[in-house]
Structure 1
């Protein structure tokens, strides 16, 4: 079946009759004479039309799958299970959260699939929120833009890449923080250059890293099952004489004992769920690059669903492998080093360090590549709508046929966060990145229900199960308030420290609201003008929207 048979036509939307101006422009800040200004009245039907990126549709099903699965399965599987088990206290509750996290993630995925198939355009939440919430004017766009620029960084996996690269050469990352940051900065810059200057090579590299990552995770599961079943022990040469292998491995405990020590506090469970959600986050990653996907509707539906099933199986089996090989008490004390204990007990100190470093470095690099690839497209869409300075430059695909401007917008905050001289910043970054997303999840879920009522005529190749949407709404509200639930035995100062990630996330969103109020309401009122949208086409063929100041008395 061809693309034309399975999906809406792949073409950029033509300006409608209410949009008489389509002018060439290479600089979003260039002045326009009042006589040249024609307001751009977008209609729902125009936004529903698919749009092909200037670089063309180059992503097949396998590439879209890797963009999703490599974003979902990052370095978190080598770090977060220990922190989750430590906080919730038991094997049973820990494993349950990973399965529950997959089920809940499906609720969010269903919402994104309905939006993505109904509005097959790059940009993800930006497109969906703009389409749904057109009043107050520019508010949704501004919030997405602020969130993408301020919190749309890729720092955690760059830091992990640097730490485990040093670990592989026998250095203690804790004692060489400057070298960790140097390596993190280097990989971030290198990936930006690859994606910005060598588009097809970058796609090929991230595909290869994604499949290697899946192979390594599969090897972990098979190896743990093998050693437990056969009582295999590494040789003294492999395990080091001074650090011999354990005399025995675990057998999986009984049903009743796996729940011993469970902590049933919603504040603690919600924090653990944030880490689980972060591990599943990225299922909507392909929604940001729909303009470049072949057969976008069909690919979104199948690739995203397959990625969720695969990631759930991988997370569950890897956690079981950890619990079989490493005692629970050691896991609780391991913090983010659970994978180090796992590989050391399997292959000894030397072999374990090598396998661990290989697995984490490949996973982290692959994750950074696909996140950078997708978020650069989101930044490009934000720039195309006129919500970033120098929008024409940042929207263009010149000079290498790739969104280099969007990559640079993503690079700058990433480098800033990487260079923050703080210890144990990994977990804090996970929480700060995840918390504001609950507000957008809430908005898109409400919006989906509203569109079902208000616009039943829209074509929906995929329809979300409404009870799942309602559940997502309830959960998003619960997770928004969860950090502020008091915890037993915690003083006021300790509790304030634990909710700091929520306060930072809320502060970013409030900054977006105040910025919108100042930029689109107060300044136009004081200056006696209004903001209007003007359509334009760059020299490379990229369509853009320019925001221009129109005097109030100009009609």
Structure 2
């Protein structure tokens, strides 16, 4: 999320000053902190309002993909783009077209021609690894709903349908947009170092609408990317805070009693305050039924939001010595390497472990999926994620402002720091346990419902957690009582 906040700041500054040099790093990080704080504040003020805003951005982003497809069609039929009448304009004289005019009829055929597509292949495995991680990062996000399944109404019925439709639609549109890029942007432009393909696309197409102003395409591309990354910030802020709240529930973080609870700072409380203010000349709007505070009061993970803001700020400060674009590459690369690559390998290994060892009896617990399909999918997923994880540790011969070992070094260093934190936490806690004859008790009381009703399938919709230090005897007695309660639930699988 921190990387996307930085990219949003870069593109916002670029959209306002496209003719300038690289945006100032301090301005970019200032915008990034403001955007992150604003996104968290929106979700803290109104959970439903934040979800509605996320849905609006989803519609807008789909619309932008359709605009790219429509622009390509208009370009191919000759409505926009290069023409003899524009050859003497400022748009056609910019260095962007240094190799001459662009032929609409041959660009797409040259780009899809196999000999051109695989011409001069790279022998650097590091480059393939970076490219694969970038592709994974592009499609990353479809799993965000997994973190908040308890907040979805009828998840057993709605979630598979919504997930299948959304992933299918986005995948088709992503492929279509890539085809549009190659139908418009020649190879000699796309192959330029640090060339932004979206900027090239809009410069060639919509940029021709104002031939006296050569920066129109860059401004359009920057605006599109800024809106896209801002939408990602809104969505990720919602799920990331809840993930951090669940981590705090395990008791591994300091001040868990602050980070775990939900706090009511919603619009409903503001409405109640406005209703009580006698100095307001017009208070009738706040007494209307549709504006009743009960319709807007809800608790949100404010403590976890503050924790998320602190973690993002640490990443902003840690990359302050880098150029903003380099900071984006590093932060998104670490995210893809760790979350998608490394933990993807662990996920695949876990599925194989459950499927291949009969003692786990996973076949009975997951009867809806054929074991052969699950094993094959996990094996493919393991191989595809292991390749970039391993190859990224190999020396790279490609020219880059960043050292080749920076990404794997920081990623593995982060894992080691997390492991040391966990082990240190256990050592300190056990030492205090022995001294005080107490233990840290994490007591969780789930609130469940049947989904669908009367199906015998249970879904957890809420969980109340208690974290406290209890005498050892009392904790043992509680664990015994808890085991008895679980045994008397008629075997319901929550």
TM range (shorter): 0.7 to 0.9
Distance 1:238 1:544 in 2: 68
Distance 1:278 1:517 in 2: 31
Q: Does structure 1 residue 266 correspond to structure 2 residue 125?
A: yes
Q: Does structure 1 residue 468 correspond to structure 2 residue 315?
A: no
In the TM superposition, residue 220 of structure 1 has moved relative to its aligned partner by 0.6
Distance 2:410 2:175 in 1: 31
Kindly indicate whether structure 1 or structure 2 has the higher relative contact order, using CA contacts under 8 Å at least 6 residues apart.
Answer: 1
Give deviations 1:219-259, integer Å, cap 9, x for gaps: 11221232123263379999993222864332322233222
Kindly indicate whether the alpha-carbon contact (under 8 Å) linking 2:10 and 2:23 is maintained by their aligned counterparts in 1. Answer: no
Q: Does structure 1 residue 477 correspond to structure 2 residue 386?
A: yes
1:450 corresponds, among 322, 330, 353, to: 353
Distance 2:32 2:206 in 1: 28
Distance 1:184 1:365 in 2: 10
2:344 corresponds, among 441, 446, 449, to: 441
1:191–1:518 Cα change, 3 Å: same
1:478–1:334 Cα change, 3 Å: closer
Task: Structure 2: give runs of 5+ residues left out of the alignment.
Answer: 208-213, 267-298, 447-461, 477-494
Q: Does structure 1 residue 428 correspond to structure 2 residue 293?
A: no
Distance 1:478 1:357 in 2: 33
| Residue pairs, 1:103-502, within 5 angstroms | 154-170=1-17, 172=20, 174-230=22-78, 232-233=80-81, 241-244=89-92, 247-248=101-102, 249=104, 250-253=107-110, 254-335=113-194, 337-348=196-207, 349-399=214-264, 400=266, 401-419=299-317, 420-421=319-320, 422-423=322-323, 424-437=326-339, 438-452=341-355, 453=358, 454-456=360-362, 457-459=364-366, 461-462=368-369, 465-487=374-396, 489=397, 497-502=403-408
What's the Cα RMSD here?
3.2
Kindly indicate whether the alpha-carbon contact (under 8 Å) linking 2:13 and 2:23 is maintained by their aligned counterparts in 1. Answer: no
**TM-score of the superposition, structure 2-length normalised?**
0.72
**TM-score of the superposition, structure 1-length normalised?**
0.65
Secondary structure class of the residue paired with 1:344: helix
Kindly indicate whether the alpha-carbon contact (under 8 Å) linking 1:251 and 1:324 is maintained by their aligned counterparts in 2. Answer: yes
Alignment correspondent of 1:68: none
Kindly indicate whether the alpha-carbon contact (under 8 Å) linking 2:241 and 2:308 is maintained by their aligned counterparts in 1. Answer: yes
Q: Give the count of matched residue pairs.
A: 397
Task: Structure 1: give runs of 5+ residues left out of the alignment.
Answer: 1-153
Secondary structure class of the residue paired with 1:174: coil
Kindly indicate whether the alpha-carbon contact (under 8 Å) linking 1:535 and 1:545 is maintained by their aligned counterparts in 2. Answer: yes
Alignment correspondent of 1:509: 415
From the CA coordinates, give the structure whose radius of gyration is larger: 2
